Structure 1
Amino acid sequence: MRQENATIIRFLEQKQDEIVQGWATEYAAIAQGSRRTAASLQGEQAELYGHLLRALREDGDAADFENATWAELRDSLARLSASRAAQSSTAADTSAFVLSLKRPLFDLLQREELGKNEQIQALWNISAIVDRMAQWTLAVYQQTREDIISRQQDELLELSTPVIKLWEGVLAVPIIGTLDSSRAQMVMESLLERIVQTGSELAIIDITGVPTVDTLVAQHLLKTVTALRLMGAESIISGIRPQIAQTIVHLGIDLQGIATKATLADALAVALRMTGHTIARVQD
């Protein structure tokens, strides 16, 4: 076992209560206003402390933190980061919790009667280990936040592109906002799934809420219409405002063969006629 590890292990074993108390005090001074409860902090401290001690006993090297020796500690740090990210704690607060372990260890090592070389090596080693622990929490925290944001974006896209059954055999999908490639793919998939589920033969794609229509948006619409036809369903594009009509003409976009209407109400009236339905006003 390396001498610097042996020195740190001795302190961790003999001075655990003092180190843990100093750790909590240091973190409280750094992370003022933290919403973590004392019980949750104690649980996190105990888990990390135990895994750190075990890794050092197995002669873990800070320079090779991704080695299997540190696996339990890395997993513990990953759980800590993921939990705090899900609870909207900041990355700075998460890493500060880990880095707060340095101060009590440094103080103890400096007070003890150690040889100069032994003290320097121990200080350097514990500094490197805690720094690697903090870096690991930041990496996991960032990945967790990115996963959360990505999932929320997918959920928002699903909510913003609902497929509605307007009438027997008639579906509608109102599109609000920019129609990019990923959203167009979701619209197409949702429509095709609902076509299969309901056996509908007509879909109304309403673009009243789309601010602008350019060549890319038109291509997405044409691909969706083509996919629907391959499934045996026809489509109507509604929400063609005067500005959009002029833009389509100027861009030279060919929408021939596709039914278009100015409003969703007009599109529904056409859809009912196409499916053999009529609506009559009831006379008093």
Structure 2
Amino acid sequence: MNDLAEVISQNAESIRADWIANMAGTVQRADLMSKAELEEQSRSILDAIARGIRTSGPSRIEDSGWDAARDLLREISASRARQGFSPSEVAMFVLSLKQPLFSSVRAKFSADTNRAFEAVFAATELLDRLALFTAETFMSTREELINRQQQELLELSTPVVKLWDGILALPIIGTLDSSRTQVVMESLLQTVVATNSKFAIIDITGVPTVDTLVAQHLLKTITAARLMGAECIISGVRPQIAQTIVHLGINLEDVVTKAKLSDAFGLALQRSGRAVVRVSGAAAANPLATILRGRED
């Protein structure tokens, strides 16, 4: 519909000025975006909309003639999702163009009611479609951001700690589901290979409950570590968890379990041929002399 494209081309500056004025109360966020950036975005979008209407018409924004407008809206939506705008603020960026555009259409076709009505109707449908496209792109980008942040949190919440040469500890806090199990397994196996460790302590003190699914995830992790040559010890088995495991009939006969992390660490030291011993007061005051004496002996 060339009437709508003509209105935008002939009144671009006044439409843009009114558009920015309308956004001042609902869309413009001085804490997140500068006025110059908002003006540049408005100018680019308005020009792209006029080109899209002239090339493909206002009713098919999926056509190639609207590529530039879609790309601009996609870029703006993604940047605002990262900046912290709300979905309504992003949608109103497009919807607030209605009033300035309608005013220009009415002034252009004041003597022809039918043409004015057709232009207003076409503009309404067009801006509604563009607003929906903008909102969908915004939500998609925000979901990607949330998923990436969740993945980063999972990686941070499952650190593998080197307790001693050849002994690792993996404290697990929170629920252990399938996605987290994959992160736990990858992190543990990579550290086992990197440190050439022979023992890995999986501490479940921070796991609220252990059911059949959690037990299966633990067994998968233990099996994978064994394939890499590391023996696993589960620590942090509380009385409630022990009763639950027995009640559910979960088979952990091949897995060494301990109530405390310190007990598991002591067992790992023992199996690796090491021991922690208490020293006398004089030895504690001069540990270097004790070490040298031990070497002489």
TM-score tier after normalising by the smaller chain length? over 0.9
Pick the aligned partner of 1:142 from 118, 139, 147.
139
| 1:120-179 CA-partner distances (Å, limit 9, x unpaired) | 221111111111111111000000110011011001111111111111111110000111
Work out the CA distance in 1 between the residues paired with 2:104 and 2:228: 73
Work out the CA distance in 1 between the residues paired with 2:128 and 2:243: 60
Partner of 1:248: 245
Pick the aligned partner of 2:17 from 21, 27, 34.
21
Amino acid at match of 1:252: G
Shift of 1:114: 4.4
Amino acid at match of 1:64: R
Q: TM-score, normalised by structure 2?
A: 0.90
Work out the CA distance in 1 between the residues paired with 2:9 and 2:29: 31
Work out the CA distance in 2 between the residues paired with 1:179 and 1:29: 46
Partner of 2:289: none
Partner of 1:105: 101
Shift of 1:116: 2.5
Contact kept in structure 1, 2:235 and 2:261, CA below 8 Å:
yes
Partner of 1:83: 79
Partner of 1:188: 185
Partner of 2:223: 226
Amino acid at match of 2:60: D
- Percent identity over paired residues: 49
Shift of 1:34: 5.9
Work out the CA distance in 2 between the residues paired with 1:184 and 1:108: 59
Q: Which runs of 5+ in 2 are unaligned?
A: 283-297
Work out the CA distance in 2 between the residues paired with 1:117 and 1:98: 25
Please state whether the residue corresponding to 1:188 is helix, strand or coil. helix
Amino acid at match of 2:233: I
Contact kept in structure 2, 1:23 and 1:104, CA below 8 Å:
yes
Contact kept in structure 1, 2:52 and 2:58, CA below 8 Å:
no
Q: Which runs of 5+ in 1 are unaligned?
A: none
Q: TM-score, normalised by structure 1?
A: 0.94
Partner of 1:264: 261
Amino acid at match of 1:196: V
Work out the CA distance in 2 between the residues paired with 1:171 and 1:46: 58
Alignment map for 1:136-215 (pairs within 5 Å): 136-215=133-212
Contact kept in structure 2, 1:62 and 1:132, CA below 8 Å:
no
